Amino acid sequence: MKQHELDAWVEGFLSYQRDVRRLAPRTVVDIKCTLKKVSAALASKHPTTPLWKLRLEDFLYWLEQARAAGQSEQALAKDLSHVRGLLEYAWRSGKADRNVLDGFSLQDAGVRKEPKSLSLEEAAALVHACPRQTAEERRSRLIILLLYGCGFRTAELCGLDVSDVNVERREVLVRAGKGGRQRTIPVPAAAWSELLAYLLEDGRKRGPLFRTKVKSARIGQDDVGDIVKLAAARAGIREKVTARTLRHTFATHLMDAGVDIAVIASLMGHRSPSETGIYLHVLPGKKQRAVDALASGKEKKETPS
């Protein structure tokens, strides 16, 4: 199947996102993929009409088709934001009379699925199932501990360097998080002791924190996936467990422990606490308690001293 080609003018829009707005390269690629996807979806109706010349009805048609194909509301909302950005750029550049998606949002957000996570017992079993007799086993065990104890995305974990570990502050710096956002994450005591032992054993002062055994290259996302899969099998966990499962488990257990949602959002590298709201499912009545706490706070402010 021939890949759909974008209008040449779109490259200027993408350059603007990269060079002026300073968006991360991965984000720009994501925007480009979205525009190609939407253009291809609407090519049958308007083969020669660029996106910024289409009507609102055309984009509603695209949304219906994407929903029918099984695309989630969350993914659609992201795609819609990318297209809206292009239309806004076209309007401000004089290429379009208006942005037909200005102010438009998905009203039918639907029910967001609860992210899969492990119970406390399953998480403990996963860690206990990781042996540490050899250097490779200790490395794999540490990877499991950091995924669960720090909530790293797989790409973030793979991108860590030895120099990103701050021994004095017991933190790890994520230099290239999603959207180009940096953040520091405190390391739990259990994982920290094994991280220090790993650094002492390895003896390196620079370079990738985790390397492959064969070629000593930076570890890849597939390698991490295999490590998690093997640990889950050893722990006897029948359902599929991925690195993302451990990230969701990290957030879910923090929420369960009563950690403030804004703190969890910061640790997860979310743009805002609203992204973290999906983890409110973990305890019955948690949403209501959050509302009650908010109301209680207002009452305290209104009470004269």
Q: Is residue 270 part of a domain?
A: yes
Same domain, 46 and 165: no
Instruction: Indicate whether 302 pLDDT > 50.
Output: no
Cα 102 to Cα 160: distance, rounded to the nearest angstrom: 39
- pLDDT tens-digit series, residues 16-40: 999 988 888 889 999 999 999 999 8
- pLDDT tens-digit series, residues 228-241: 999 999 999 989 99
Average pLDDT taken over every residue of the chain = 84
Same domain, 88 and 183: no
Same domain, 175 and 274: yes
Instruction: Indicate whether 242 pLDDT > 50.
Output: yes
* Rounded mean pLDDT, 287-291: 46
Selected residue with higher pLDDT from 50 and 227:
227
Same domain, 81 and 187: no
Which are the contacts of 268, defined by CB distance < 8 A and separation ≥ 6?
A: 151, 247, 250, 251, 275, 276
Give, in degrees to the nearest 5, the angle at Cα 260 between 196 and 243.
Answer: 50
The domain boundary, picked from 92, 109, 128, lies at 92
In the prediction, which pLDDT does 282 show? 53
Q: 153 with 136: CB under 8 angstroms?
A: no
Same domain, 270 and 137: yes
Q: Is residue 106 part of a domain?
A: no
Cα 299 to Cα 175: distance, rounded to the nearest angstrom: 41
Q: Is residue 305 part of a domain?
A: no
* Maximum separation of any 2 CA atoms in the chain, in Å: 72
Instruction: Indicate whether 1 pLDDT > 90.
Output: no
Q: Is residue 22 part of a domain?
A: yes
Same domain, 237 and 141: yes
In the prediction, which pLDDT does 214 show? 79
Q: Is residue 112 part of a domain?
A: no
Give, in degrees to the nearest 5, the angle at Cα 38 between 36 and 42.
Answer: 115
- Provide the residue range defining the domain that includes 59: 10-92
How many helices (H) and strands (E) the chain has is answered by: 13, 3
The domain boundary, picked from 75, 92, 109, lies at 92
- Where is 172: in which H helix or E strand? strand 171-174
Instruction: Indicate whether 184 pLDDT > 80.
Output: yes
- Which residue(s) pair with 171 in the sheet? 166, 186
185 — pLDDT class (breaks 50, 70, 90): very high
- pLDDT tens-digit series, residues 37-66: 999 899 888 888 889 999 888 888 898 888
Same domain, 129 and 224: yes
Residue 131 in tokens: 């042996």
Same domain, 84 and 149: no
Q: How many domains does the chain have?
A: 2
- Where is 36: in which H helix or E strand? helix 25-42
Cα 219 to Cα 211: distance, rounded to the nearest angstrom: 5
20 half-sphere exposure, CB direction, 13 A CA radius: 7
Instruction: Indicate whether 13 pLDDT > 70.
Output: yes
70 — pLDDT class (breaks 50, 70, 90): confident
What sign does the CA torsion over 257, 259, 265, 267 have? negative
Q: Is residue 245 part of a domain?
A: yes
Same domain, 225 and 274: yes
Q: Is residue 254 part of a domain?
A: yes
Q: 139 with 210: CB under 8 angstroms?
A: yes
Q: Provide, rounded to the nearest whole percent, the portion of the chain with pLDDT above 90.
A: 47
In the prediction, which pLDDT does 209 show? 95
Same domain, 244 and 133: yes
Q: 165 with 199: CB under 8 angstroms?
A: yes
* Strand arrangement, sheet containing 183-186: 165-166, 171-174, 183-186
Which range has the worst mean pLDDT, 99-113, 152-166, 273-287? 273-287
Same domain, 52 and 140: no
Instruction: Indicate whether 297 pLDDT > 50.
Output: no
Same domain, 263 and 197: yes
**Nearest CA-CA partner of 13 in 72, 96, 121, 77:** 96
CATH of the domain at 135: 1.10.443.10
273 — pLDDT class (breaks 50, 70, 90): low
The pTM of the full predicted model, rounded to 2 decimals, is: 0.61
